């Protein structure tokens, strides 16, 4: 019970901190919108396969940039203060939940802007949105752990990319496949296997993060 | 028997697999023809790589639990040797693919998956180089290693099963066992795999012992 309370107050703290400055969220939203616009200027019109791939690539880079900062925006001494207050599991869980919230907002806006600028018919919008939901939560859980690792390694942003891209590729491959199925409006039973794989990857990464983060946090 | 019996066993098994692999009977099949003998060399590379990565992740967990620096050395040397076997596996597979599929790098999920998994383990080595402080390096890279291992399994063994693949045994293709009716190929493949695994482990222990000596030398010099 106390873990839940700790997580709740830590998430609340992150949201309030962000709400006061609105710096990270605004910059990342601007990043998404300008990337979409650059792509629009470059491509003008795209075929469905490219549309889908482009959307996920935009979302991938936006999420790396958004989550990269999750462990370095606060000073070392303040992290020490959290260390005395909350358990490591609560810290990583709260960061994952917070990043999931950010990613959901981000992907919703990215999807809106993207589909308004690049018009493209979707065969099965519900399944597509479900994929976007699962994808953004998956990105959040993988990148939170990797950003914790790279933050301990002196927070080099090249290192973040090198460490996280090979790890995110399986998730990305499954996502692109399911969302392509959803675009083409295939029968949903075709995508069940992939949805289960997506859910399983999310569960596994969160479970491993919970197990491993205490070793990273205790420094 | 002395403690090095398994090294002799490894050499004997390899000799057996090379002689029987080149001279032994194989089923006559279209397209692959005699290149099916490559299965005795291509498949054991992946088994060995997987074993070495598994040893590495076990020692990473042990390091996180106990903090013994020697466990970290075992973990990193297993990855080093595992990457070599992965490169051999890719090279033998590309030779084979050139003969049977007409292209050294067809767009196959298993090929792409193993290439990405290699990138992941190269990233592990880059991460180690990025960290100066010894204990911190050992701990953070152990965390990354444990995090990367299940994703390697998903990439190399789960995703290719769900999609269309040129490899036997996935995407609705017939498995390898269906061609081997009298078990004569299994009689070579399994000893060959065991032999390569033993040789790979031997290489890893040799490298680990050199590392350990260097480590002790540094510790006494400092």
Domain boundaries, chain A: 2-217
Q: For B202-222, b where at least 16 C-beta lie within 10 A, e where not — what string?
A: bbbeebbeebeeeeeeeeeee
Residue A170 to residue B64, Cβ atoms within 8 A: no
Which secondary structure element, helix H or strand E, spans residue A36, and what is its range?
helix A23-43
* Optimal mutation site among B144, B155, B171, interface A, most CBs of chain A within 10 A: B144
Q: For A76-107, b where at least 16 C-beta lie within 10 A, e where not — what string?
A: eeeeeebeeebbbbbbbbbbbbbbbbbbeebb
Cβ-based burial of A127 (10 A; exposed 0-12, middle 13-18, buried ≥19): buried
Structural domains in chain B (count): 1
* Optimal mutation site among B62, B83, B147, interface A, most CBs of chain A within 10 A: B147
B-chain residues within 8 Å CB-CB of A152?
136, 140
What is the predicted pLDDT for the residue at B67? 85
Instruction: For chain B, say whether A177 makes contact (Cβ under 8 Å).
Output: yes
Q: Report the range out of A214-218, B64-68, B169-173, B194-198 with the highest average pLDDT.
A: B194-198
Q: What is the mean pLDDT of residues B142-149?
A: 91
What is the predicted pLDDT for the residue at A50? 86
Q: What is the mean pLDDT of residues B102-131?
A: 86
Q: A154: distance to nearest CA of chain B, Å? A: 8
B-chain residues within 8 Å CB-CB of A209?
147
What is the predicted pLDDT for the residue at B57? 95
Q: What is the mean pLDDT of residues B7-13?
A: 90
pLDDT at B180 over 80: no
Q: What is the mean pLDDT of residues A185-213?
A: 84
pLDDT at B176 over 70: no
In residues, how long is chain A? 219
What is the predicted pLDDT for the residue at B56? 95
Written in H, E and C, the secondary structure of B145-175 is HHHHHHHHHHHHHHHHHHCCCCCCCCCCCCC
Residue A183: which of A79, A97, A54, A80 has the closest Cα? Answer: A54
Residue ranges of A 126-165 with Cβ closer than 8 A to chain B: 145-146, 149, 152-154, 156, 159, 162-163, 165
pLDDT > 90 fraction of chain B, expressed in percent and rounded: 37
Q: How many CB atoms lie within 10 A of CB A124?
A: 19
The rounded distance, in Å, linking the Cα atoms of B191 and B196 is: 9
- The sign of the dihedral angle between the CA atoms of A28, A33, A38, A44 is positive
Question: Which tens digits make up the pLDDT trace of A36-58?
Answer: 888 888 887 778 888 888 889 98
Instruction: For chain A, say whether B12 makes contact (Cβ under 8 Å).
Output: no
The rounded distance, in Å, linking the Cα atoms of B79 and A160 is: 20
pLDDT at B49 over 90: yes
pLDDT at A219 over 80: no
The rounded distance, in Å, linking the Cα atoms of A134 and B5 is: 52
Q: What is the CA radius of gyration of chain A?
A: 18
CA angle B62, B65, B71 (to 5 degrees): 35
Residue B147 to residue A204, Cβ atoms within 8 A: no
Q: What is the mean pLDDT of residues B142-146?
A: 91
Instruction: For chain A, say whether B158 makes contact (Cβ under 8 Å).
Output: yes
| Residues B9, B159 contacting (CB under 8 angstroms) | no
Q: Encoding tokens for residue A154?
A: 């002196």
Instruction: For chain B, say whether A19 makes contact (Cβ under 8 Å).
Output: no
Query: What 8-state DSSP symbol labels residue B104?
Result: S
What is the predicted pLDDT for the residue at B209? 93
The rounded distance, in Å, linking the Cα atoms of B24 and B182 is: 13
| Residues B103, B97 contacting (CB under 8 angstroms) | yes
Q: Which residue of B has its CA nearest to A155?
A: B130
Q: For B11-46, b where at least 16 C-beta lie within 10 A, e where not — what string?
A: eebbebbeebbeeeebeeeeebeebbbbbbbbbbbb
Question: Which tens digits make up the pLDDT trace of B204-221?
Answer: 999 999 999 998 898 888
The rounded distance, in Å, linking the Cα atoms of A53 and B20 is: 48
Question: Which tens digits make up the pLDDT trace of A128-156?
Answer: 888 999 999 999 989 998 888 888 877 66
| Residues B73, B212 contacting (CB under 8 angstroms) | yes
- Which residue is it, tokens 């039973």? A189
pLDDT at A157 over 90: no
Residue A165: which of B131, B151, B75 has the closest Cα? Answer: B151
What is the predicted pLDDT for the residue at B173? 56
From the list A146, A152, A208, the residue facing B150 with the nearest CB is A208
Q: What is the mean pLDDT of residues A85-91?
A: 84
For the entire predicted model, the pTM comes to: 0.85
Q: How many CB atoms lie within 10 A of CB B131?
A: 18
What is the predicted pLDDT for the residue at B33? 73
Q: What is the mean pLDDT of residues B27-37?
A: 75
pLDDT class of A1 with cuts at 50, 70, 90: low
Q: Which residue of B has its CA nearest to A205?
A: B147
């Amino acid at each position: 019970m106390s873990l839940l309370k700790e997580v709740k107050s830590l998430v609340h703290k992150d949201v309030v901190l962000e709400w006061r400055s609105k710096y990270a969220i605004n910059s990342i939203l601007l990043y998404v919108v300008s990337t979409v616009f650059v792509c629009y200027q470059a491509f003008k019109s795209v075929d469905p396969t490219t549309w889908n791939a482009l959307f996920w690539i935009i979302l991938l880079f936006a999420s790396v940039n958004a989550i990269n900062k999750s462990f370095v925006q606060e000073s070392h001494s303040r992290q020490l203060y959290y260390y005395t207050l909350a358990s490591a599991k609560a810290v990583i869980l709260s960061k994952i939940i917070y990043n999931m919230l950010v990613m959901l907002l981000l992907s919703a806006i990215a999807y809106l802007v993207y589909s308004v600028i690049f018009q493209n018919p979707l065969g099965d919008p519900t399944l597509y949105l479900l994929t976007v939901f699962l994808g953004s939560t998956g990105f959040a859980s993988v990148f939170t752990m990797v950003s914790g690792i790279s933050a301990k390694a002196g927070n080099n942003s090249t290192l973040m990319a090198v460490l996280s891209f090979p790890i995110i590729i399986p998730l990305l491959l499954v996502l692109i496949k399911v969302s392509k199925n959803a675009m083409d409006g295939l029968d949903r039973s075709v995508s069940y296997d992939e949805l289960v794989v997506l859910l399983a990857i999310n569960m596994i990464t969160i479970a491993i993060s919970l197990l491993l983060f205490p070793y990273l946090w205790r420094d | 028997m002395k403690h090095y019996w398994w090294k002799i066993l490894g050499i004997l098994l390899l000799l057996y697999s090379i002689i029987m692999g080149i001279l032994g009977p194989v089923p006559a099949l279209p397209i692959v023809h005699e290149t099916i003998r490559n299965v005795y060399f291509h498949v054991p590379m992946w088994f060995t790589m997987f074993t070495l990565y598994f040893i590495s992740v076990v020692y990473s967990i042990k390091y996180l639990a106990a903090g013994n620096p020697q466990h970290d050395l075992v973990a990193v040397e297993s990855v080093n040797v595992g990457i070599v076997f992965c490169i051999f596996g890719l090279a033998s597979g590309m030779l084979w693919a050139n003969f049977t599929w007409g292209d050294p790098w067809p767009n196959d999920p298993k090929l792409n998956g193993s290439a990405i998994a290699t990138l992941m383990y190269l990233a592990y080595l880059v991460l180690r180089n990025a960290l100066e402080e010894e204990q911190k390096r050992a701990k953070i890279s152990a965390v990354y290693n444990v995090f990367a291992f299940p994703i390697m399994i998903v990439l190399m063994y789960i995703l290719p099963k769900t999609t269309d693949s040129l490899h036997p045994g996935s995407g609705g293709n017939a498995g390898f066992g269906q061609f081997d009716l009298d078990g004569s190929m299994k009689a070579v493949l399994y000893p060959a795999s065991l032999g390569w695994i033993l040789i790979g482990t031997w290489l890893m222990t040799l490298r680990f012992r050199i590392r350990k000596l260097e480590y002790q030398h540094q510790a006494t010099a400092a």
